[in-house]
Amino acid sequence: MNPLASWTEEQRSAYLYRACAEAETGTVRAELFRRLAGEAEAQAAIWRAQLTAKGHPAPAPFTPDTRTRLVAWLVARLGPRRLRGILAAMKVRGMAVYGTASVREPGHVPPVIGGLELRHRGLGGGGNLRAAVFGINDGLVSNASLILGVAGATTDPHTVVLSGIAGMAAGAFAMAAGEYVSVQSQRELYEHQIALERDELKQYPEAEAQELALIYAAKGLPKREAGRLAQRMVADPEHALDTLAREELGLNPDELGSPLGAAASSFVSFAAGALLPLLPYLIAPNGSPLAAVVGIAGVALFGVGATLSLFTGRSALYSGARMLVLGAIAGGMTYAIGHFFGVALG
């Protein structure tokens, strides 16, 4: 590792920890972030000593760069919870305390088995289903609106079919590309952070154990027990890496997924939704396909909304009707715009 780069990174972390502590004034998290700032500064001192020991000049006093200042400014206004993804990417630990009931209820922590907290892991499959439903909904709404807009401008079925196919293909490829980049970026973040943690475990395992103990204490574990637990974690480097990723960085390696799999899933779900309103023009282009488009889109929108009620807990009737109304507004507005320009430019 480059000692100067590592010194800069630890100083930046300390700066952001103090920004988080200021934003969390009056909460148990404020003390956690203040102590983590102290730990980061202590680790920076180790890197500074390595620099001078090798004959290099001591680094100048730390001055945060523009990105760091911007993130600190956002933390002050939005709070660390909303920026935890950005903060984790900038090596700010402790983000796992957000959304944990034990932080709000001192003295209570989830049971620890094998060094890892029990978590609600059964949500993975439901998350994939939810993403698929949203993908179908996106394809349905966007392509139905496109078809209605073009149909409002022209009565030529071939033009409508060509537009619908182009919209389906463009949207599906765009969704796939976006999902690939999103999941791949998440994996790269995880791999980068794990590489940093692996190096730091070799350089100063005691400091890493102390940071982990602070996080467990912030979750409500007694300080002595938190210290013993952290020491046990760090004693097994590979086990410690998994724990540090979850507890310090708030990253869950089980949820990373495959970029290609996510891209393929997005492509298929979007294309399936986009194909539905196009079917009447493909099956009977010379009949009265527009009415069939409206009917199929309406039934599908209601079904998508009702399915989403499984994840929201709201009434299926309410969720289906809401989705139907929103889709009707989008389709109606697009049809009106297409009709206006079709007449004006015709």
Checking DSSP bridges between strand 112-113 and strand 116-117, what pairing results, if any? antiparallel
Of 22-36, 83-97, 123-137, 246-260, highest mean pLDDT: 22-36
Dist. CA 195–CA 192, nearest whole Å: 5
Dist. CA 222–CA 213, nearest whole Å: 10
With a CB cutoff of 8 Å and minimum separation 6, the contacts of 255 are 124
Query: Percent of the chain scored above 90 by pLDDT?
Result: 30
Could you say which DSSP state residue 117 is in?
Answer: E
Of 17-26, 86-95, 97-106, highest mean pLDDT: 17-26
Stated as kind and residue range, the H or E segment containing 150 is: helix 123-153
Q: What is the pLDDT of residue 85?
A: 75
What is the residue-averaged pLDDT of the chain?
80
Phi-psi region of 220 (alpha: psi -120 to 50; beta: other; left: phi over 0): left
Distance of CA 241 to the CA centre of its chain: 21
pLDDT score of 345 more than 70 = no
Q: What is the pLDDT of residue 230?
A: 79
Of 113-127, 200-214, 250-264, 330-344, highest mean pLDDT: 330-344
Q: What is the pLDDT of residue 254?
A: 60
Q: Mind listing the pLDDT tens digit for each residue in 275-334?
A: 999 999 999 877 778 899 999 999 999 998 888 776 666 788 998 999 999 999 999 999
pLDDT score of 95 more than 80 = no
pTM: 0.58
pLDDT score of 244 more than 80 = no
